[in-house]
Amino acid sequence: MSASAPSIPTVPLSNGLQIPILGLGTSHQGGYSQRAVLYALQECGVRHIDTARRYGCEELLGVAVRESGLPRADLWLTTKLWPGDYGYRSAKRACRASCRRLGVEYLDLYLMHWPDCTVPGRSNREVRAETWRALEELYDEGVCRAIGVSNFLIPHLEELKEDCDIAPHVNQVEFHPFQQPWDLVQYCRGGDIVFEGYCPLAKGEALTHPHILRLAAKYRRTPAQICIRWGIQNGIVTIPKSTKEERIRENCQVFGFCLEAGDVTALNALHDGRRVAWDPTHVE
């Protein structure tokens, strides 16, 4: 690791594990950069990498992890279960297949990717509960050190709470200045579920907002750093994506300054409800 790389703070999960508050997201959109992941791991102090079966880059990411030379125990690797693999047996097979592609014996966090199960003749609630039971067993077996969900709203979490033995450790949801689901954040915190936010830059839409630009000038930081710092100061585990080395370094340099309370409040007021990713509000 570069001598100048920051030590990234962590957030405790309900089971005592510590998840780094800042990670690197990966995606099939925009491609996948092996060089960028290696740079993040070796030069920027990144230890938290987020991916998914749907992105199609688990195997490449596994190569980058091995090439980084970092001990497996120092890393936090998250991947996700796609709805096409929901169901008790399918979920277990898919989890172990993700481990094989990543070249690891266990996952630090395994998430159900989406609340809509799209299984003909069966309710979403029934399939979610059956799938979650498989994740609970994978957790008990040590294949997953933590388990959680992604894009789940309060009604989905309420049903899962009634149907499960282990509450999700994490809920990963879209979160940026224009999409701030505070009711969901507070619900998760009340249930000891860590809230993790993706698309912190609103796919670039936040980078040209006049107020964010003014704050960037005030703090002599970039608009991206303002958005990421704002999320972190709100206690949100934040996972920006980039395939560019200079952007990854920029995104990691957010621990040397703090936004004033009034500026955090002003950014909190930018919520307008827009989404740049999936909308789970229609999913029963």
pLDDT mean over 58-83 = 96
Q: Which of 39, 55, 86, 139 is catalytic?
A: 55
What pLDDT, in 10s, does the model give residues 194-205? 999 999 999 999
pLDDT value at position 3?
44
pLDDT value at position 6?
66
pLDDT value at position 119?
81
**52-56, 93-97, 118-122, 277-281: segment of lowest average pLDDT:** 118-122
CATH architecture, domain defined by 19-272: Alpha-Beta Barrel (3.20)
What pLDDT, in 10s, does the model give residues 15-47? 999 999 999 999 875 678 889 999 999 999 999
114-122 LR contacts (CB < 8 Å, sep 24+): 114/82, 114/83, 114/150, 114/151, 114/278, 114/280, 114/283, 115/149, 115/151, 115/152, 115/153, 115/156, 115/280, 115/283, 116/83, 116/280, 116/283, 117/83, 117/86, 118/83, 119/86, 119/87
Relative orientation angle of helices 182-190 and 154-163, to the nearest 10 degrees: 20
What pLDDT, in 10s, does the model give residues 204-240? 999 999 999 999 999 999 999 999 999 999 999 999 9
Contacts of 4 (CB under 8 A, 6+ apart): none
Catalytic residue list contains 55: yes
pLDDT mean over 9-18 = 98
pLDDT value at position 219?
98
Model-level pTM? 0.96
pLDDT value at position 31?
72
pLDDT value at position 1?
46
Residue 113 annotated as binding site: yes
pLDDT value at position 142?
98
